[in-house]
Amino acid sequence: MTTSSAPGKIILFGEHAVVYGRPALAVPVTQVHADAEVLDSARAGIWLQAPDIDLHAELHSLPSGHPIAAVIHSLFFLRRISPFPSLEITIRSTIPVASGLGSGAAVSVALTRALASHLNVSMTDEEVNAFVYEIEKIHHGTPSGIDNTVVTYSKPVYFTSGKPIETFTVGYPFTVVIGDTGIPAPTKQAVSDVRHLWMDNRSYWETIFDKIGIISFTARRAIEAGHWEVLGELMNENHEFLQEMKVSSLELDRLVKAALSAGALGAKMSGGGRGGNMIALVNAETAEAVTRSMREAGAKNVILTQVGQSDI
């Protein structure tokens, strides 16, 4: 039996602008994860169980565009695995689907690694990352690649599309509260709507994306130096730009406001937007009040995560 696990992720800074080549910061969230288990099967076929999405099926009964089927077909095609072996595959995930926490990328990474290892196919992190990026493209249209990168390496990343991957160390750990609106985040739609805005007035949006790029750059320095007030202010500024891009929503704004009014140092939506999650920067004194305030403002789920602890 072979198993593999991959974490969730949050984008701290730079979502959407990252699609246009600006830097963004993302970190893994190890409290939630996707796990894949692969076993040889006594019955012919590739049998899939994913109880969280109520999937119990043989591979060939799934449409070829199905995210899980796409991983298996693409990997077997790429590595010339033929005939198909008989396998029992189980996938479990505690990462809420379509919430901006990278559930799709995490399932793809965990499944790719479990399959590769079970079939003695050697794959470096770079190869897993490049492979999962191709899978992400099937589902998200024009992804920047940040989700698959942070999930594959399970480290904080300073990501610029097309540039060498920069993982970095968080000098001083800090705490982020993640609040889920409970509304599915239509990432593909949000990315496409931002593209329309950009096409209508490129020079204006290029300037905004530049400003967001500078926020990501400055935020990395603030994280390395432990300048939390600066980091919080940068989150607020980044959120305002995302509001201007029309990818925030009433629910996200309500949670951001609730976090700030309870003493968070900064807060912003995170990921594709229109739903999904927002994040708030807190310290030991404010964590509890911020969490309570976000729940009262409608957060369906709240996760407290330490960024920069030894496991990330």
* 18 binds ligand MEV per the rule CB under 6 A: yes
* 239 binds ligand MEV per the rule CB under 6 A: no
User: Is the Cβ of residue 160 or residue 175 nearer to ligand MEV in the bound state?
Assistant: 160
The least CB distance from residue 191 to ligand MEV, in Å, is: 5
The least CB distance from residue 270 to ligand MEV, in Å, is: 8
Stretch that binds ligand MEV, among 12-20, 203-211, 248-256, 280-288 (CB under 6 A): 12-20
Q: Which are the contacts of 279, defined by CB distance < 8 A and separation ≥ 6?
A: 10, 12, 176, 177, 178, 179, 235, 267, 268, 269, 270
Q: Which are the contacts of 127, defined by CB distance < 8 A and separation ≥ 6?
A: none
* 7 binds ligand MEV per the rule CB under 6 A: no
Spatial separation of the C-alpha atoms in residues 66 and 55, rounded to whole Å = 11
Contact status, residue 294 vs residue 282, Cβ threshold 8 Å: no
Q: One symbol per residue from 80 to 119: x for binding ligand MEV (CB under 6 A), - otherwise; what is it?
A: --------------------x-------------------
Residue type, 99: S
Candidates 23, 143, 156, 266; binder of ligand MEV (CB under 6 A) is 143
User: Is the Cβ of residue 11 or residue 170 nearer to ligand MEV in the bound state?
Assistant: 11
Q: What's the DSSP call for residue 128?
A: H
The least CB distance from residue 272 to ligand MEV, in Å, is: 4
**32 φ, ψ (degrees, to nearest 5):** -120, 145
Candidates 4, 5, 8, 11; binder of ligand MEV (CB under 6 A) is 11
Spatial separation of the C-alpha atoms in residues 186 and 193, rounded to whole Å = 11
List interacting residues with ligand MEV (CB under 6 A): 11, 15-16, 18-19, 100, 143-144, 146-147, 187, 191, 271-272
